[in-house]
Structure 1
Amino acid sequence: MTDIPPERIAQLRAAHPLAFRAPLSVRLRRWALWAAFAALIVYCLIAFDASPERIWTGLGRLGRVLSFMFPPHIWETWYEWREILKGLGETLSMAFLGTLIGAVIAFPLSFLGAQNINRLLFFRLSVRRGYDIIRAFETLILALIFIRAFGLGPLPGILAIAVSEIGTFAKLFSEAIENTSKKPVEGVVASGGSGMQSIRFGVMPQVMPVILSIVLYNFESNVRSGTILGIVGAGGIGFLLSDRISAYRWDEAWSIIFLIIAMVYVIDWLSAQIRRRLIGKWDGAQ
């Protein structure tokens, strides 16, 4: 095929502009889609009363609230610091235990949903729909249910995170298992290995770095989720933050928010270090 220079294309476009336009039916569909999109935005703004006056008034109130947060409060006694540090520890523990329990339960379930492991179509699809059912429940809703069942405290938060993560981890793990190469598995089988040995020595070295990365990332996310769960009564630093906001102690609320940000930053840094070392170790072992 001969390349046409850009100058020649420009000349043809200027001489025959209609030849370079999309057909009328295509243009009408585009205009209809853009019109529907614009109408949806306008409807949402009207239905939610997002008027300029309301937004301007809300921004003024937000500015007053932010002004109450400065300067941040600094606790002066060990008793006050102990309460805050206990709340941070509870939130971190909820995220860690919930992530760990979810990963441990989801790991064997993920093999049942992987196409290259489970060849039974109906059984595999049923397991995958089970993943979807579990993931359909938001962590906050699960926390409210477990608070009704087990009472206030970190335990409902741990269970809510764990149940939610079972569906998420099982789906992501099974997809990672399906994306592994068949060559190591075929090599193990050709050497006389059993089915379990082919999974152990052919699949696991490939999938473990991905699984570790998924678990560490979700742990970071669950640290933030643990804060929200505390607001609804699952304990942790979120409960203390909600208490300070309800009492209009905005300077203390800002100090707690700053500590949450610092904790998330530290967890992110530690996760990156762990990910680099462990995943590098697995990659070197393959």
Structure 2
Amino acid sequence: MSGRLRAAALADLPGLRARHPQGFRAAPLGGLPGSAALLAGLALLGFGFWRLEVSPARLIGGFGHLLHFLTLMLPPDPGSWARAGLILHGLAETVAIAFLGTLVAAVIALPLGLLAARNTTLHGVVHFLSRRALDGMRGVDALIWALIWISVVGLGPFAGVLAITCSDIGTLGKLYSEAIEAADRRAVEGVTSAGGGGLHRVRFGVLPQVLPIMAGQVLYQFESNTRSSTIIGIVGAGGIGLYLSEMIRTLEWPTVSSIVLLILATVVAIDALSTRLRAAIIHGAAAPGS
């Protein structure tokens, strides 16, 4: 049957073109502006490769050096038991920095996220200032925050916690505000119709919807900050990054590979744990309405 319909449609193709010309109109290719934008993008890409000295030959040649470093790293060997203990202590310190910095940032970012959201802010000026403050804190990388806080409080994990906190306040505050603005307004309208004020609308209309989303965002940030804490440790903000940089400077490549493997195993474990916790939170949030 489909073959007969197709044959009939092909036989009546001139009539179909006459009755439905818009259906047979060729799709526009963007015209001159689109072509000019494409050419400009390609020219900018080529200029960037040239200006930054991106060379495929250098990249291919560098693979030989990379393989040489990999052979130097095998087999992984932390060295003495004393060094292995120091490495494990540094790894635990890195996880502690990430956990404490993320937790403090999550608490501080909550009121800022409420002020930065259009549907829960106090005033338009407060909304604008809150947004710009979050943009400023998020625009400075955690490594830069670490260098700043090292100059203020000195070397050690305390500077690392402050660096993670400052960086995450901007990120989590931004994510919180977007989740709050996307909340269903019907719950807020229900609280208002029952005589609830502004705080009641936030407490009973907005927060129950967005808290599971916020919890998932905090767990993801904790996982990401475990890697960031390794980097800021290299500049002296505590954690295993200090041991990693020392081993690289002294060319202790088997110890470097053992540290890298420990970091990867920790990140994988935290990722698996956070995935289960996020699934449990989402399931728990969906259970009352099911």
Query: Which aligned pairs between 1:19-58 and structure 2 lie closer than 5 A?
Result: 20=26, 22=28, 26-58=30-62
What is the match of residue 123 of structure 1? 126
Does the CA contact (< 8 Å) of 1:212 and 1:279 recur in 2?
no
Q: Which digits, 9 at most, give the CA deviation of each residue in 1:159-197, with x for residues without a partner?
A: 011011111111111111111112222222323333322
Partner of 2:159: 156
Q: 1:59 aligns with which of 53, 60, 63?
A: 63
1:68 aligned partner: 72
The answer on 1:86 being equivalent to 2:89 is yes
Query: How far 1:217 sits from its partner (Å)?
Result: 0.7
Aligned positions of 1:1-286 closer than 5 A: 8=13, 20=26, 22=28, 26-77=30-81, 79-118=82-121, 120-285=123-288
Structure 1: stretches of 5+ with no match in the other structure:
13-18
Normalising by structure 1, we get a TM-score of: 0.87
Query: What is the deviation of 1:144?
Result: 0.8
CA distance in 2, matches of 1:6, 1:113: 59
Contact 2:116 2:177 in 1 (8 A): yes
Cα shift at 1:70: 1.1
How far apart in 1 are the matches of 2:246 and 2:204? 52
CA contact (8 A) 1:208 1:282 kept: no
Q: Secondary structure at the match of 2:205?
A: helix
After TM superposition, give the deviation of residue 275 of structure 1 in Å: 1.6
Letter in 1 for 2:155: L
53-62 or 164-173, larger mean C-alpha shift: 53-62
Superposition RMSD on alpha carbons, in Å? 2.5
Deviation at 1:119, TM superposition (A): 5.1
How many angstroms apart in 2 are the aligned matches of 1:231 and 1:56? 29
SS at the partner of 1:20?
A: coil
Quick one: distance in 1 between partners of 2:197 and 2:246? 58
Change (3 A) 1:197 1:68: same
1:211 & 1:230 partners in 2: Cα distance? 27
Percent identity of paired positions between Structure 1 and Structure 2: 42
The answer to which of 41-50 and 179-188 deviates more is 41-50
The SS at the match of 1:234 is coil
> Aligned in 2, Cα 1:50/1:174: closer, same or farther, shift over 3 Å?
closer
Worse overlay, 181-190 or 201-210: 181-190
Residues in 1 aligned to 2:255 and 2:185: alpha-carbon distance in whole angstroms: 56
Contact residue 78 and residue 259 of structure 2 kept, 8 A: no
**Separation in 2 of the partners of 1:179 and 1:35?**
38
Superposition deviation, residue 263 in structure 1:
0.1
What amino acid is aligned across from residue 231 of structure 2 in structure 1? I
Assess, with a 3 A threshold, how the Cα gap between structure 1 residues 255 and 20 changes in structure 2: closer, same or farther.
same
Write the deviation string for residues 135-162 of structure 1: whole angstroms up to 9, x where unpaired: 1111111111111111111111110110
